[in-house]
Amino acid sequence: MPSVADPVILDGRALAREIRADLKARSLALREKGVIPRIEAVVASQDPSSLAYVAMKRKWAGWCAIESGEFSVDDSGSQDEVMDKVRELNSNHLVHGVLIQHPLPKHIDEPAVLELLGAAKDVDGITSHSLGLLTAGLPGFRCATPLGITKLLDKYEIDCTGKQAIVIGRSNILGKPMALMLLERNATVTIAHSRTVGLPDLVRQSDIVVAAVGRAEMVKGDWLKPGAIVIDAGYNTVEGKSHDVGDCEFDSCAEAASMITPVPGGVGPMTVASLLANTVEAAERLI
Ligand code: NAP
């Protein structure tokens, strides 16, 4: 058993591995029934982070017996071409999930692309329709990163009921849906953002802290309530560091926390696993 000073490390890499094994079995079962799960991505061809993420998705999709493809949009790609591609993917019954990888090139109207996709194949859960379903508590695809975090909460039997939670960040793909998912789990949720005043004090009152900011090591250990559960969704490249760091300063936070996600190896692997889980679920709806 870990001592008080040793937090439980919420191991997203291990859980993602378990989820992928389950997905592979389900994909193979689908294939036997003539359904080949398939996900397609629309991605900016000149965004290195997007390309890296999509390559990761391709690798694990292949491992899980899920087919995948990509439509690259470069700086000369037009809005019409992207919209035509999304229309084609919408009507292609062999495609079960579509990922519109943010950010598309600046000249592309991304909200219009997402609106066109709609909820049926939105396995990333980021269209306004999917977010509306989440807000209303109705079934639908949930955003991959916060969904992955809830899978980690479940794996480690973290009961959110009655807990004070803070989500730092309010993006549509992470902070806002995360807050709603914690609310669904009966936490009392505060959402913080760049205009929040007195953030360290708000964090100090919280049993669960989700950092989704994009600022390297912003949350310090002395901001935490002793025994807090820390979920770090941040991924930040810092010059001179051999690996990416989170939004929480790991060493000082680990001293105060009872449970904490590492970066890398915490939330990151869960995002792709959740995206692929939504894709298999979409394919299973057909049988
Ligand atoms: P984003 O769209 O840039 O949103 C960042 C949020 O942080 C905004 O709501 C912003 O507030 C808030 N913020 C910025 N500075 C702040 C400050 N000093 N104090 C409090 N709040 C502050 O970013 P995102 O897409 O949500 O991503 C957030 C982080 O998660 C990034 O590190 C990203 O790389 C990572 N991420 C990880 C995964 C994964 O799979 N692990 C997936 C997606 C994203 P305002 O709204 O007021 O501007």
Whichever domain contains 39, its CATH number is 3.40.50.10860
Give the CA angle between residues 7, 8, 9 to the nearest 5°. Answer: 110
Task: Give yes or no: residues 107 and 191 share one domain.
Answer: no
What's the CA gap between 226 and 211, in Å, rounded? 17
| Cβ–ligand 1 contact at 49 (below 6 Å) | no
| Cβ–ligand 1 contact at 269 (below 6 Å) | no
Task: Give yes or no: residues 115 and 149 share one domain.
Answer: no
Which residue, among 16, 48, 38, has the nearest Cα to 286 in the 3D structure? 38
Q: What is the CA radius of gyration of the chain?
A: 19
Domain annotation covers residue 283: no
pLDDT tens readout for residues 251-280: 999 999 999 999 999 999 999 999 999 999
3: pLDDT confidence band, cut at 50, 70 and 90?
Answer: very low
Grouping H, G, I as helix, E, B as strand and the rest as coil, residue 271 is helix
Domain annotation covers residue 91: yes
Domain annotation covers residue 193: yes
Domain annotation covers residue 257: yes
- Kindly give the number of the ligand 1 atom that is closest to the alpha carbon of 270: 40
20-37 in b/e burial notation, b at 16+ Cβ within 10 A?
Answer: beebbebbeebeeeebeb
Q: How far is the CA of 81 from the centre of ligand 1 (A)?
A: 30
Let me know: does 165 contact 208? Beta carbons within 8 Å.
Answer: yes
Q: What is the pLDDT of residue 226?
A: 98
Task: Give yes or no: residues 158 and 200 share one domain.
Answer: yes
| Terminal alpha carbon distance of the chain | 45
Task: Give yes or no: residues 117 and 148 share one domain.
Answer: no
Q: How far is the CA of 3 from the centre of ligand 1 (A)?
A: 32
Q: CB count, 10 Å around CB of 10?
A: 26
pLDDT at 228 over 90: yes
286: pLDDT confidence band, cut at 50, 70 and 90?
Answer: confident
Q: How far is the CA of 9 from the centre of ligand 1 (A)?
A: 22
Let me know: does 37 contact 279? Beta carbons within 8 Å.
Answer: yes
- Kindly give the number of the ligand 1 atom that is closest to the alpha carbon of 175: 26
pLDDT tens readout for residues 86-107: 999 999 999 999 999 999 999 9
- Kindly give the number of the ligand 1 atom that is closest to the alpha carbon of 196: 20
Residues marked active site are found at 57, 101, 124
Nearest residue (by CA) to ligand 1, atom 41, is: 268
Q: Note down the domain range covering 90.
A: 33-121
| Cβ–ligand 1 contact at 170 (below 6 Å) | yes
What is the CATH number for 167? 3.40.50.720
Mutate to test the pocket of ligand 1, among 13, 56, 172, 193 (most ligand atoms within 8 A of CB): 193
Task: Give yes or no: residues 239 and 153 share one domain.
Answer: yes
Pairing mode of beta strands 259-260, 229-232: parallel
Domain annotation covers residue 190: yes
Domain annotation covers residue 148: yes
What sign does the dihedral 237-241-246-247 (CA atoms) show?
A: negative
What's the CA gap between 248 and 238, in Å, rounded? 13
Which residue, among 69, 71, 47, has the nearest Cα to 57 in the 3D structure? 69
Task: Give yes or no: residues 189 and 257 share one domain.
Answer: yes
Q: What is the pLDDT of residue 68?
A: 98
- Kindly give the number of the ligand 1 atom that is closest to the alpha carbon of 268: 41
Domain annotation covers residue 28: no
Q: What is the pLDDT of residue 5?
A: 67
Domain annotation covers residue 276: no
Task: Give yes or no: residues 178 and 94 share one domain.
Answer: no
Task: Give yes or no: residues 107 and 192 share one domain.
Answer: no
Task: Give yes or no: residues 109 and 181 share one domain.
Answer: no
| Cβ–ligand 1 contact at 237 (below 6 Å) | no
Q: How far is the CA of 161 from the centre of ligand 1 (A)?
A: 25
Nearest residue (by CA) to ligand 1, atom 34, is: 235
Residues in contact with 17: Cβ distance below 8 Å, sequence separation at least 6, in sequence order:
none
Distances in whole angstroms, Cα of residue 126 to Cα of each of 37, 103, 137, 227, 261: 20, 13, 15, 32, 24
Let me know: does 229 contact 208? Beta carbons within 8 Å.
Answer: yes
| Cβ–ligand 1 contact at 271 (below 6 Å) | yes
pTM for the model: 0.96
Task: Give yes or no: residues 225 and 158 share one domain.
Answer: yes
Single residue among 121, 136, 169 that ends a domain in this structure: 121
Q: What is the pLDDT of residue 28?
A: 98
Nearest residue (by CA) to ligand 1, atom 14, is: 194
Q: Select the more confidently predicted residue: 118 or 229.
A: 229
- Domain count across the chain: 2
